């Protein structure tokens, strides 16, 4: 697992299998001929039972204080999967109180780091034993292809917790030489009660990105799941307690942003806040935190990532990689390569092959073997994407493929490709978060650098070229937290991830994520015998 990457599992293995496996047929609708998998058949019944729908507070599953519940829906059909306890401010208060007691008086922060490591390793083992159920829950609640969840995301979840388990007993302090007769120690201590808010596009991976480093450093947590996808985090938290996590260390609240999320962000007894989501919501979260107790905040926000195809590129490989960079996870990725800049000399060839690749994309029930694209997360996101597609047509971009609903049930959208896209169009400026590829033409390297950087976002970028000088120029010039060269979406556990500009601040994953969850304390003691220095 040490060298396993999401990109190697998805971008190399998945497209080939998705195009060749399963019973497929052609379906004429809109522009072009689409490949679809079982589009007219009834959805598969997931082989998993929903076991946990309550809030997790102080090691126990409990109802919301109000007794309210909300429905979590199957995006394949819009049908109800389960009724989930709806947490609000009172439940946040209960969870923060449990986390505070667990931090101040409980064993977790004072536990030998090696013991914390062993609990996290046992948790990783339990994930492996329960991969089938967790992957099924993730697909059922989110709509992502089951093969993607089971073969890529769940193994990465295991890898992430083993990675952070390895850090638990390697967080060291320093001895600093002083100018005078003093012994100076620098201690790295857990920051305290951590509020964490995760999104719906990668529920379990975002759970790991937040919970892993916080626990490794000895903190306690109140985590709010996205209201669209609460089920897998509740299941995983149960496994974490089976692994030996003490009560109150991890508390899970399912609920809505304006109630539970706002209460967590503004809570006076939360010492640290971490949020992943849209830039607009990130601004609100930051304001709420600043108005309460000035708690430090890390933000991983939106993106509008450029994917630059240079004139020397292998066009077939560039087309496949650009397709993956945009359409992976139904386009619901903050770092999606959603502005595809292509050199004018290869633009026409790239466009025709990109259109053909989109027409071959297999859309259907994500539980079907061979499906590349499932539904969008919910009706709200579906309608948002459709509005952007309409905007692209009305602003003068050329709709090459897609642009319509796929099927008659659920939140499916045809893989959509636009050409002749201009920088000022909304589809080239805004984060669409859907299966909409915008292909733009460029002529000079300096030009594309300026255009690629002309955005409020700075999360990621992709560069496709055979020329090392071109690659070096672009990677230094692009203002983004991650630049992938001849690859995309490589999310190794040790690689830091985060953005420039309005894509947020702070870094997730790797050693840099530990800094988010540690306080630095200097301890200065006089030396009575300075001659021995």
Active centre residues (catalytic): 300
- Residue 224 contacts residue 206 (beta carbons within 8 Å): no
Q: Choose among 97, 106, 66: nearest CA to 254.
A: 66
- List CB contacts of 33: < 8 A, sequence separation 6 or more: 26, 27, 359
**CA–CA dist 160, 165 (Å, integer):** 9
- Residue 509 contacts residue 517 (beta carbons within 8 Å): no
**CA–CA dist 222, 87 (Å, integer):** 12
Q: At what angle do helices 113-129 and 131-142 cross, to 10 degrees?
A: 70
Buried b (16+ CB within 10 A) or exposed e, 218-247: bbbbbbbbbbbbbbbbbbbbbbbbebebbb
- List CB contacts of 88: < 8 A, sequence separation 6 or more: 64, 65, 66, 68, 255, 259, 260, 263
The CA distances from residue 135 to 14, 151, 154, 155, 156, in Å, are: 16, 9, 7, 10, 12
- Residue 185 contacts residue 522 (beta carbons within 8 Å): yes
**CA–CA dist 230, 500 (Å, integer):** 29
What is the DSSP secondary structure assignment for residue 516, as one 8-state letter?
T
Tokens of 224: 């709010």
**Ordered DSSP codes for 10-75:** IIIIHHHHHHHSS-EEEEE-SSSEEEEESTTSPPPPPS------SEEETTEEE--TT--EEEEE-T
- Residue 340 contacts residue 304 (beta carbons within 8 Å): no
56 phi-psi bin (left φ>0, alpha ψ -120 to 50, beta other): beta
- Residue 400 contacts residue 31 (beta carbons within 8 Å): yes
Q: 3-class SS at 357?
A: helix
Q: 3-class SS at 522?
A: strand
**CA–CA dist 302, 291 (Å, integer):** 23
The CA distances from residue 436 to 10, 39, 334, 375, 486, in Å, are: 19, 20, 13, 14, 21
Which runs of E-coded beta strand occur in 283-354?
Answer: 297-300, 306-309, 339-343
Tokens of 121: 């390793």
């Amino acid at each position: 697992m040490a060298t396993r990457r999401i990109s190697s599992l998805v971008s190399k293995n998945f497209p080939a299998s998705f195009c060749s496996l399963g019973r497929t047929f052609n379906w004429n609708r809109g522009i072009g001929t689409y490949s679809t998998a079982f589009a007219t058949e009834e959805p598969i019944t997931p082989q998993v039972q929903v076991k946990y729908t309550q809030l997790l507070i102080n090691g126990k599953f409990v109802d919301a204080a109000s007794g309210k519940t909300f429905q979590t829906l199957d995006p394949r059909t819009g049908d109800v999967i389960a009724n989930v306890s709806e947490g609000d401010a009172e439940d946040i208060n209960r969870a923060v109180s449990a986390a505070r007691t667990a931090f101040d008086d409980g064993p977790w922060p004072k536990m030998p780091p090696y013991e914390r490591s062993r609990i996290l390793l046992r948790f990783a083992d339990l994930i492996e034993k329960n991969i089938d159920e967790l992957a099924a829950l993730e697909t059922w609640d989110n709509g992502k292809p089951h093969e993607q969840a089971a073969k890529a995301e769940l193994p990465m979840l295991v890898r992430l917790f083993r990675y952070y388990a390895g850090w638990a007993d390697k967080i060291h302090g320093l001895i600093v030489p002083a100018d005078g007769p003093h012994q100076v120690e620098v201690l790295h201590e857990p920051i305290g009660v951590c509020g964490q808010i995760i999104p719906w596009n990668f529920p379990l991976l975002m759970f790991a990105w937040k919970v892993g480093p916080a626990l490794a450093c000895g903190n306690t947590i109140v985590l709010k799941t996205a209201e669209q996808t609460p089920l897998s985090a509740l299941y995983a938290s149960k496994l974490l307690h089976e692994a030996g996590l003490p009560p109150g260390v991890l508390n899970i609240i399912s609920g809505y942003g304006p109630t539970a999320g706002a209460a967590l962000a503004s809570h006076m007894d939360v010492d640290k806040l971490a949020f992943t989501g849209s830039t607009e919501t990130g601004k609100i979260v930051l304001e709420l935190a600043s108005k309460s107790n000035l708690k430090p905040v890390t933000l991983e926000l939106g993106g509008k990532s450029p994917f630059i195809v240079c004139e020397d590129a292998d066009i077939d490989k560039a087309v496949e990689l650009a397709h993956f960079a945009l359409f992976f996870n139904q386009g619901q990725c903050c770092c999606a390569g959603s502005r595809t800049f292509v050199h004018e000399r290869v633009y026409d060839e790239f466009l025709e092959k990109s259109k053909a690749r989109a027409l071959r994309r297999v859309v259907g029930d994500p539980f079907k073997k061979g499906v590349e694209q499932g539904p969008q997360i919910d009706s709200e996101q579906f309608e948002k994407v459709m509005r952007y597609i309409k905007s692209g047509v009305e602003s003068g971009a050329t709709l090459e493929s897609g642009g319509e609903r796929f099927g008659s049930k659920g939140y499916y959208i045809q893989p959509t490709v636009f050409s002749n896209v201009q920088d000022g169009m909304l589809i080239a400026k805004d984060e669409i978060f859907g299966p909409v590829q915008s292909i733009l033409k460029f002529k000079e390297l300096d030009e594309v650098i300026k255009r690629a950087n002309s955005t409020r976002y700075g999360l990621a970028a992709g560069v496709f070229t055979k020329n090392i000088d071109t690659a070096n120029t672009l990677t230094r010039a692009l203002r983004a937290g991650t630049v992938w060269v001849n690859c995309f979406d490589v999310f190794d556990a040790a690689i830091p991830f985060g953005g420039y500009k309005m894509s947020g601040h702070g870094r997730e994953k790797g050693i840099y994520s530990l800094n988010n969850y540690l306080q630095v304390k200097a301890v200065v003691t006089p030396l009575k015998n300075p001659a021995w220095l």
